[in-house]
Structure 1
Amino acid sequence: MSGDERYDAALIGILQNEGNVVNFLDVFYSFLFRKTDFFRIMLSPTDKYGFQAGVARKLILAGFKKYESMASELNARLKAQYEKSLAEESANMIAENVADEVEVVTSEETTPQQQVNQSENIKELPKIADPQPLGQEQSSSSAMEVSAEKEVLPSNTRDIAEVSSQSIMAVASTVTSTTTAATSQESNHADQVTSGENLASSEMSDTKNNPDNDPELEKLQKIYQANSESYNGAIRENYTWSQSILDLDIRVKVPAHIKKGRDVKVDIGRKHMKVSYVDQQLPKSSQLVALVDGELSWDVHKDEAFWSLVPGEHIHISLEKVRDRWWDSLLTTEPKISVRKIDAQRPITELDDESQAKIEEMMYNERQKQLGLPQSHEKNMHEMLKKAWDVEGSPFRGQPFDLSKVNISQGGSFGTGSM
């Protein structure tokens, strides 16, 4: 049983007795207040009990941020899995619809009447400079055939383009190449050969010049990502660091005999960090031994920095970034990681209210679309139509509200059903 779990039985008993988390936390803080010096403020540097003003608050915030970060990472992974499953379901549905429609077009092209129409159209092609609507000289059956094809293909393209999934884009590419092969097979073949050669050349160049493609770095980053203390960060000789988009979490190793906070010294500047410990065996003039001393890659809020000592193990340091960005190194002197290979998803809880609202609306619309129900913009359009249905000058005034009498285009404009 891990150290985090061995007290679960006792803590669960307290939680059950108190009935909710708020009362449980009150019991916890009450214990610290009554039985420890956690809330006691040191009145002078010589006091042996308590903390300096503000330190206890920072320790509580450090613990909160630690588990908040873990929860955010878990939520991000769950959200990614949910979106992936939605995309896969959408891909399957679109692929089935496309397959059905392509089958219908193929069967229609095999009819004798359409073969005759196609022959007539091919004869007319040299006279047409640009794709234009068919003229009156063409037969009505030929015009109907081309019109039907025009109605099918853009519909496929629109449906496929609305779903942001690699697999769906692949289906769209397949359908497009199938419909154009009959008229431009040789040209497409030449383009594909040229494109393939360019792509291969580009990939070789990227592999040679781009450090993101370094296989050794990729192996190391898999190790980093598997460790919570180096998640989105790295493991170095005497320290580890991890990060979220907002802050940094650093653990600097200390010798086993370092047990008290007075035996270490931590200096945090806007763009510099120095961590040292006291070696009593050295002369007083040189007792401070530097563990980490270097320039930070980017600025931090030095007034928001705080640290704590885990006796005999490490110094835990929390830093808040000035800018919301991903760091490719903690110090400018250390090797860089690839920010393309970390979990760079930003948890929804860290976004502003407007961005959160937009993401929630997108997720809602995706669910509505899967269920065949109106999306948010469609609901808004329906509400507008309902309000305007019976106003002065409306052609529908006095009639029951009926959406089937109105044609709503994809761009949002509308007209009467007879148009």
Structure 2
Amino acid sequence: MEFQRSDAMLMEILQERKSITGFLDAVFGFLKRNTDFYHTKKDADDKVGFPKGIRDQILYGAMQRYDPDCWLQTMSAESGIDDSGLNAPPAINEITVGTEELEAETKPAKAKVKSRRGFEPADHKNGAVFEHHCWSQTLKDVEFHIQLPDNLQAAKQLNIEIKADKIKVCSKSVPQQLILEGALSQRIRHNEAVWSIDDGKLLICCDKAKERWWDRLLENDAEIDIKKLDTERYIDELPEDSQQAIEKLRVQQIAEDQQQKEALAAIDPEQTKTLERLKEAWDAEGSPFKGQPFDPSVVRMS
């Protein structure tokens, strides 16, 4: 679809900024630096910018056009509302969609429903999986994967409430259809949470308030054994000074290995070949030395 390319670029900005406020700051900063959006025409001969008040109409019109509670949301470009926003009515013309209309929107389509994949192991790594949702975690962040009902597949149909200590996902229709609700076992940075919908699932990503391993997602969930978690951290997740120290040790080890190899080759080429074979066998499956630093002095060689 035509919006997929722009969605991909905008999603990258949203994931980088991690909040709606940061995302909008990036967008309006771009408009300030690269367009005449903030320039107000001084007279009719001014070739750039907008007459006074028009910029606000453009902004409000664009907001209303995608508001599910506003009639503009259902209008198309063929209806006379263009992307400039100049033809959009002011915000006071906003109307509320009735309950019957919302219920009609949420009725499942009669089209053939395609099968959707279940949860993948990566979706609940270091977490747990349930019938309709699962969660995963690293030391810094947590992700929720929530299976959405067939009749609630669009963002405009959902109320997604993310607080520091609780989460609630339900329908906007009346009566309310509850999908997931509960108090979180630990606090999150809810102002920086981002979410998306893909393949019939709602994905919520957020940072933990404190770096620690969770033993459950919701307070009423059964505990998981945090001693069995994969706590390995990638080097690029470590502090910068730790990364530099590890890189320095790696370079030193490479240099020492090369010096040792060159010295042995100069003394006895056959001995060098023997050590190379020994080094290969050192970490082989079943070796008593597997996982230990290579030290040929512990092996007697005839």
Scaled by the length of structure 2, the TM-score of the pair is 0.47
Larger radius of gyration: 1
Bigger share in helix? 1
